[in-house]
Structure 1
Amino acid sequence: MSSADTADQAPAFDNPLTPFGVGDLGREGLVGTLVGQLGPRLADHRGRIDLPVFAVLFDHVGGFPFFLAQEDGASTLQSRLSMSLLADVAVTERLTGRAEVRTDDGTYGVSTVDLRTAAGRLCVTGTARSVRVGRGGEDTDMDSLAAPSAAGEGCLPEPIDPELSGRDIVDAIAAGALDPGPIVRLLDGRIEEGRFVVRTAPWMGNHFGTMHGGLIATIVAQGISLAAQAHTAPGVDYRVADLSVGFYRSPAVDGGEVIVEVEPVKVGRRIGSFDAVLRTRDGLLLSKAVADVIFR
């Protein structure tokens, strides 16, 4: 899949929340809630919803309670997300995210975050570490988030031939012979020389005008997902089960490219561990992550 092809396919949005179906914010004290409506637009090359899809909802609700705790209106950012995916989630599931500040020393805060299905089943859990920052940005009215629209656009990819190895699958995606999946098209992503490359766009921005932390985590996690796929034998499935991602810088969303490089730490029969680094095209370090992937 060429960059020209992905540019033609990538839809246009006004913000990073709409394509991920995020809205309906609620609050009570130091507890915040958000809703995320999934849909085919967010499926991967297997037609599955995997951990990368949850990062925007997780990040946004995870930072919300700490932001509200700043009575002087100071800006805040996430410095790290730690997420665990506990169960498979249907492509059209409606999720509720709940975050609560557990510690706040005036500069740093940690919130616990849970995402649940419409039936109340816990599917993602973890923590978000936030920090006060000195730089300013436009005021953000957190209460103005509207009800989420279904992330419904996009067609699910055709089933993958179970006789293909993971390496064959990734090579076919890189060559444009296999559908990369709606989530990769949404991100305007491609595989280039074994790396996952994403072209930034204005809709990916936060109120500072740089990339939303949830999008950074999504991009990194999707790069890890494709790297994990490359290590599967024919007929073997996988799930990105755990992700810890640190945010060092947020890239501009001006059409430049960011690149995910993934290194396997140890890949076994049941579980694989991976390190990932996100950089700009000119090598500026943006983020590092570690992840565990379950093979099944």
Structure 2
Amino acid sequence: MTDTGTEQAQTSQTVRERAYSWSDPMETAGIAAGLSGMEFFEAMAKGLVPPPPILNTLDFDGVSFEEGRVEFRLTPKEFHYNPIGSVHGGVFATLLDSACGCAVHTRLPVGVFYTSLDLSVKFLRPVSVATGTITAVGSVVHLGRRTALAEARLLDAAGKVCATATSSCLIMRPGD
């Protein structure tokens, strides 16, 4: 005995494909080591430094970079979906983590780096292709010698908040 519903679901699936490319992330990291955070993001915005692979993987863009504040934009597509037909929470988390971390990075001098210590995300509303473009806005709340705190909001085109996040970052200085 077979499950007709399952057979129909399996045979009616249309395969979709996606291809993309990226630059060597270690070359980009080498460039970043010789620039302040703001210099790095300015060079990336001008196309002098390739974006990190995650931007191409999830198909989002760096929109603006100011000292202590960044924006990333994503237009939801099917490949962002979870099994229930909306954008996967991991996509939200990645956008928000990028916005928090990069906001901190814009405040760092040459040779100083960061890594995320934690990320707390609150999902407030679903996002789908019909939602249209969403924007992650990240800003630095506190920058200390060893740690930083940043926050980010994920907004739809109407300015409604879809998700929020806070992140603590470890600041790594030469000689530490």
| TM-score normalised by structure 2 residue count | 0.76
Among residues 108, 131, 141, which one is paired with 1:232 in the alignment?
108
Runs of 4+ residues deviating >4 angstroms: none
AA aligned to 2:79 is: W
Query: For 1:180 and 1:218, how far apart are their aligned partners in 2?
Result: 15
**In the alignment, structure 1 residue 290 sits paired with structure 2 residue 158:** no
Cα deviation per residue 1:176-206 (whole Å; 9 max; x = unaligned)?
A: 2211111011122222233111222111111
On the 8 A contact 1:209/1:253 being kept in 2, the answer is: no
Query: For 2:165 and 2:57, how far apart are their aligned partners in 1?
Result: 22
Partner residue in 2 for 1:156? 24
On the 8 A contact 1:201/1:255 being kept in 2, the answer is: no
Query: For 1:180 and 1:285, how far apart are their aligned partners in 2?
Result: 26
Partner residue in 1 for 2:42? 171
Partner residue in 2 for 1:246? 122
1:131-280 equivalences under 5 Å are 154-157=22-25, 158=27, 159-194=30-65, 195-253=71-129, 256-280=132-156
User: Kindly, what percent of the aligned residue pairs are identical?
Assistant: 28
The alignment partner of 2:102 has SS state of: helix
The alignment partner of 2:83 has SS state of: coil
On the 8 A contact 1:204/1:253 being kept in 2, the answer is: no
Partner residue in 1 for 2:18? 12
On the 8 A contact 2:96/2:154 being kept in 1, the answer is: yes
Q: Which runs of 5+ in 2 are unaligned?
A: 1-16, 66-70
Query: For 2:38 and 2:155, how far apart are their aligned partners in 1?
Result: 24
The alignment partner of 1:185 has SS state of: helix
Q: Which runs of 5+ in 1 are unaligned?
A: 1-10, 14-40, 42-152
The alignment partner of 2:31 has SS state of: coil
RMSD value, Cα: 2.1
